[in-house]
A and B are shown apart, each in its own frame.
Chain A
Amino acid sequence: MAGAGSSTHRDPDRTLESTLRAAATVAGGITVGIVAFLLVGSLPALRAVGPLRFLSDPSWNPVHGAYNVVPMLVGTLVVTAGAVLLATPLAVASAVFGRFYVRGALSRTHRRILETLAGIPSVVYGLWGLMVLVPAIARVGPPGQSVLAGVLVLALMILPTIALVGDTALGAVPEAHLRGAAAAGLSRWAIARSIALPAARSGILTGILLGTGRALGETMAVVMVTGNVVQLPGSVLAPVRTLTANIALEMAYATDAHRSALFVSGLVLALLTIGLVAAVDRIAGRPEGEGTPAHVV
C-alpha cells in the first residue's frame, strides 16, 4: 500500500518488522521443533508395529505387544470437552460479573481470586482432587476417581484463563458504546449481552482456545484424579486414562520400544491439537478483533 511518508520513516519500520518476524519465527519454530521431536521419537514404534495397530489392537499393553491408544484418545476428548463445556459459561459469567455487576474493591478482589487460581500448581489441584473431591464422588459411586473428578478439577484449572482473558476483552469495549446503550435505556444484562459480549467475542474465543489447550495438555492433576484405567468410559463415574496421563505414568520406567510407543501417544495428542486448531480456524476464520489493522503508513 503506497503510503505518504518520507523514506526515512520506513527504514526503522522495516528493521522493526524484520526483528519482529524473527521473534515470531522463533515462537512458531518451537512448535515445529517439538512436533518433529515427537515424530522422531515415535518412528521406531511406528515402523516396528505399524500405525494401524495403534487403532486396532485389543488393548494398551506395550509390554505384551498391544498398542491401542483409542480408549485414551476418547478419555482425553471426554475429559477435555467436559471441562471446557463446564468452565466456559462460568468463566464468561465471571468476567461479566467483574466488569458490569460490581466495581472498585469487590471487582479487584474478584480479579485477584482468579489470578491466584491461575497460579495454583497442578499438584495442589491434584492433591485437593484426590483427597477431598474423590472421596465425595465415591460416596455417590465408587471408586471416585473418574471422568467426573477429572472434568471438575480441569474446569477449575482452566476457568481463570478463560475468565481473565475474557475480562480483558470486555474491558477493551469502548465506553462510548456502553454509555450509548445505557442512554437508550437498556438494562445491565441487555448491555452486556448485546453490546459488550459480541464486541469482545474474539478475545473470549482466544481465552477459550487457550483454556482448551491447557485442558488437553494437563498431566499432573489428571493423573491423580481420573483413575488411569485404560477403558472406554461407560459413565461419568467410570475411571478413564488420558493420553497425557499415559505418558506420565509409564515413561519413567519404559524401555526403548515401550518408550517409543509412548511417544506415539504424545504424537496423537499433538495431532489432535493441530486438528482442533485447524477446525477452529476454519469455522471462526473471520478477521479477529475490533478492526483489522491495515497497513496505514
Chain B
Amino acid sequence: MTRVLRVIGVAVGVGVACSPSSEPDTLVITGSSTIAPVVAEAAQRYERAHPGVRIDVQSGGSSRGIGDVRSGLADIGMVSRALEGEEQKLHTYGIARDGVGIVLNAQNPVASLTRAQVVAIYRGEIASWRELGGRDAPIIVVHKASGRATLEVFLEHFGLDNRNVKADVIVGENEQAIKSIAGSPDAIGYVSIGTAAVDIEHGVPIKLVGVGDVAPTLENLRRGVYPIARPLNLVTREPAEGLARAFIEYLRSRAVARLIEAQYFVQVSG
C-alpha cells in the first residue's frame, strides 16, 4: 500500500510540475456547449491536417468560456451570444450565426403563430390550443433556464420579461427542450434552429413554425431576414495570433463550411 501511495505522490508531483497549460503548439478552447461539438470536430480535422498540433476543446457554458479566457486558463472562449458590458473588452471573432425558432410537436395541427400569440402563450394568457385552432388541450409551455443565450434572444425579440413568463417545464440544453416537446403533443418551446433542424432530419417528431411571415429556414438566416438570431463567437483576451489565429481562420474557411452548415448554422467568414 505504501508503494501505491508513493506512486500516486510522484504522479501528483509530476502533475504539479508540468501542468498542460498552453505550450506553443497546444490550444485550449472552452465555453458554450452549443458550439463545442462543431469546434471539437473541426479541431480533430485540423489536428489530422497539422500533425504535432493539439487542440483541447472543453465545454462548460458561455460564462465559463469568458471566465477562462479572462483568467488565462483558455486560449479561446466559445460564446453563443453577443458580448455585453465588460465582456466587450475581449476580442471577438464571429464564426457562425444561429437562429432561434418556435418548435411544436409534429402532431400539433397549428401551422404558424403570430407574435402576439406567442407573447400571450408565454405569459399564460392563452391556456388552451383550442383558442388557436388546435385541439382542446392545455398548452404546455417549455422555457429555458435563466442565463441561457437562447432565452435572452427569445425574451428580447418578443419583449418579454422573464418574471412574467408562466412556464410548465424548464429545461437546460436545447436537446432537453426538443425531447420534452417530442414526447408531449401539446408542448411549445423555442430552440436553436440548428439543433431543431438536424433533429427533424433524423426523424424526431417536432416541427419548426414561423412567427409572422418569415419562415425559420437556413436560407432566410443566410439572407439575414430571419429576425430571431444570435451570433456564435470565439473570443480571445489579446488579438489572436499564431495557432489561435490559424485555427480561427480555419473555422471561417470554406474547408469547414459544410461542417458548419450541416449543423444548420450559417457560417460567417471574415
Direct contact of A and B (CB under 8 A): yes
Residues of chain A at the chain B interface (Cβ within 8 Å): 19, 59, 61-64, 127, 130-131, 134-135, 138, 142-145, 223-224, 227-230, 239, 241, 248-255, 258
Residues of B within 8 A of A63 (CB): 146-147, 162
State A130–B186 Cα separation when bound (angstroms). 15
Residues of A within 8 A of B140 (CB): 142-143
Residues of B within 8 A of A134 (CB): 180, 183-184
Do A144 and B60 touch across chains, with their CB atoms under 8 A apart?
A: no
Residues of A within 8 A of B60 (CB): 252
Q: B148 is contacted by which of A61, A223, A253 (Cβ under 8 Å)?
A: A253
Count of residues in B whose CB is under 8 Å from the partner chain = 31
CB-nearest residue of chain A relative to B80?
A: A253
Interfacial residues of chain B within 168-192, with CB under 8 A of chain A in the complex: 168-172, 176, 179-180, 182-184, 186-187
Given contacts A131-B179, A250-B146, A252-B64, contact A144 B184 (CB under 8 A): yes
State A143–B177 Cα separation when bound (angstroms). 13
Residues of A within 8 A of B187 (CB): 143
Do A254 and B183 touch across chains, with their CB atoms under 8 A apart?
A: no
A-B contact pairs, 21 of them (CB 8 A): A19-B1, A63-B146, A127-B179, A131-B182, A134-B180, A138-B183, A142-B138, A142-B168, A143-B168, A144-B184, A227-B169, A228-B169, A229-B170, A239-B168, A239-B169, A239-B170, A248-B172, A253-B61, A253-B63, A253-B146, A258-B147
Q: A138-B183, A228-B172, A254-B63 are in contact. List 20 more A-B contacts (CB 8 A).
A: A62-B146, A63-B146, A63-B162, A64-B162, A64-B163, A130-B176, A131-B183, A142-B138, A143-B184, A145-B169, A227-B169, A229-B167, A239-B168, A239-B170, A249-B172, A250-B146, A252-B147, A253-B62, A254-B147, A255-B63
State A241–B143 Cα separation when bound (angstroms). 14
Given contacts A64-B162, A227-B170, A239-B168, contact A142 B61 (CB under 8 A): no
State A132–B219 Cα separation when bound (angstroms). 35
B7 at interface, CB cutoff 8 A: no
State A90–B138 Cα separation when bound (angstroms). 36
State A239–B167 Cα separation when bound (angstroms). 10
Interfacial residues of chain B within 136-180, with CB under 8 A of chain A in the complex: 137-138, 140, 145-149, 162-163, 167-172, 176, 179-180
A-B contact count (CB 8 A): 89
Residues of A within 8 A of B183 (CB): 130-131, 134-135, 138, 144
Residues of B within 8 A of A62 (CB): 146
| Min CB gap A165→B, angstroms | 25
Of B138, B163, B183, B186, most A-chain CB atoms within 10 Å: B183
State A64–B164 Cα separation when bound (angstroms). 12
Q: A135 is contacted by which of B145, B169, B184 (Cβ under 8 Å)?
A: B184
State A253–B146 Cα separation when bound (angstroms). 8
Residues of B within 8 A of A135 (CB): 183-184
Residues of A within 8 A of B186 (CB): 142
Residues of A within 8 A of B170 (CB): 227-230, 239, 241, 249
Give per-residue flags for B48-86: 1 if the beta carbon is below 8 A from chain A beta carbons, else 0: 000000000000111110000000000000000000000
State A172–B163 Cα separation when bound (angstroms). 57
Do A227 and B168 touch across chains, with their CB atoms under 8 A apart?
A: yes
CB-nearest residue of chain A relative to B59?
A: A252
| Min CB gap B141→A, angstroms | 9
Residues of B within 8 A of A249 (CB): 145, 170, 172
Residues of B within 8 A of A59 (CB): 163
Do A228 and B146 touch across chains, with their CB atoms under 8 A apart?
A: no
State A248–B148 Cα separation when bound (angstroms). 13
State A143–B187 Cα separation when bound (angstroms). 8
Residues of A within 8 A of B63 (CB): 252-255
State A239–B1 Cα separation when bound (angstroms). 49
Do B172 and A229 touch across chains, with their CB atoms under 8 A apart?
A: no
State A223–B175 Cα separation when bound (angstroms). 13
| Min CB gap B205→A, angstroms | 11
State A135–B145 Cα separation when bound (angstroms). 22
| Min CB gap B147→A, angstroms | 3
| Min CB gap A71→B, angstroms | 13
State A63–B138 Cα separation when bound (angstroms). 29
Given contacts A138-B184, A254-B63, contact A228 B145 (CB under 8 A): yes
Do B168 and A229 touch across chains, with their CB atoms under 8 A apart?
A: yes
| Min CB gap B142→A, angstroms | 9
State A63–B148 Cα separation when bound (angstroms). 12
| Min CB gap B188→A, angstroms | 11
Listed from nearest, the 3 A-B pairs whose CB atoms lie closest are: A252-B61, A253-B147, A249-B145
